[in-house]
Amino acid sequence: MAVVYAFGDSITYGAWDIKNSGWATRLRAYLDDMQEKNPNYYGLFYNLGIPGETTDGLVKRFENETNAREREGEEAVFIFAFGANDAAFLAAQNKFRVSNEDFRTNLEGVIKKALAISKNILIVNILPVIEEMNRDRNGKTRSNKYMEEYNQVLKQLADRFGLRFVDVYSLFMDAGHEKLFIQEDGLHPNDKGHELMFNAIRPVVQEMVGWK
């Protein structure tokens, strides 16, 4: 039995994708469909995305979330998709919500705990933003320069621990990212953006859960 834990923020939660509720919900629906077609497959999928969350929140809740859902004989699969909130610059305080160094420390600690449970871990990096819409958004500034710096941390951690890695940042940039976000904020993907993420993440997760 495979149990998938998808940890993340509002993008993992599926905010603003009204019809299909985001890439993670698409992934659950896909895995559910595979189970319906093949009685030999069985698994659970938990969307553990929380809007606005940073890796500080992930550190606080990771063990409780996994302990509450632990099932004997399960093959755990962990997806971590964080950084868009950590990399938000707070102009009034002249700092990031979570510094680059603390971002690394937070994720390193959680990865080590996850590895004690399973080797099946996927890191999904941070999406770009439409910068002109995120220069002063509710007191926060997000820029692609910041996202790239935090993405370097994610790639370094994935390489260091031998984790699977999906580069959705590059996918969005190559596809012309401005058309892949809702026009209200230039931060949350629209349905096409979530579909692109799903198509990139699905084959990696399908391999990890062992469903062909």
Question: Which helix (H) or strand (E) element contains residue 199?
Answer: helix 191-209
Packing angle of the helix pair 168-175, 191-209 (nearest 10 deg)? 140
Encoding tokens for residue 184? 């209200």
Give the span between the Cα atoms of 46 and 170, in whole angstroms.
Answer: 26
Given a contact cutoff of 8 angstroms between Cβ atoms, the answer to whether 53 and 9 are in contact is yes
Q: Which pLDDT score is estimated for 131?
A: 94
Mean of the pLDDT values across residues 83-89? 97
- CB neighbour burial string for 91-111, b if at least 16 within 10 angstroms, e if fewer: eeeeebbbeeebbbebbeebb
Structural domain that includes position 70: 2-209
pLDDT above 80 (res 34): yes
145-152 long-range Cβ contacts below 8 angstroms, 24+ apart: 146/87, 146/88, 146/89, 146/96, 147/83, 147/84, 147/87, 149/87, 149/100, 150/83, 150/86, 150/87, 150/100, 150/103, 150/126, 151/83, 151/125, 151/126
pLDDT above 80 (res 27): yes
Confidence of residue 25 (pLDDT cuts 50, 70, 90): very high
DSSP result, 114-153: HHTT-S-EEEE------GGGSSSBTTEE--HHHHHHHHHH
* Cβ neighbours of residue 36 closer than 8 Å, sequence gap 6 or more: none
46: amino acid identity, one letter: Y
pLDDT above 80 (res 136): no
Confidence of residue 200 (pLDDT cuts 50, 70, 90): very high
Give the span between the Cα atoms of 16 and 113, in whole angstroms.
Answer: 32
Per-residue pLDDT tens over the stretch 152-191? 999 999 999 999 999 999 999 999 999 999 988 999 999 9
The domain that holds 90 is classified in CATH as 3.40.50.1110
Give the span between the Cα atoms of 157 and 165, in whole angstroms.
Answer: 10
- Reported pTM: 0.96
Provide the 3-class DSSP secondary structure of residue 158: helix
What's the total number of domains in the chain?
1
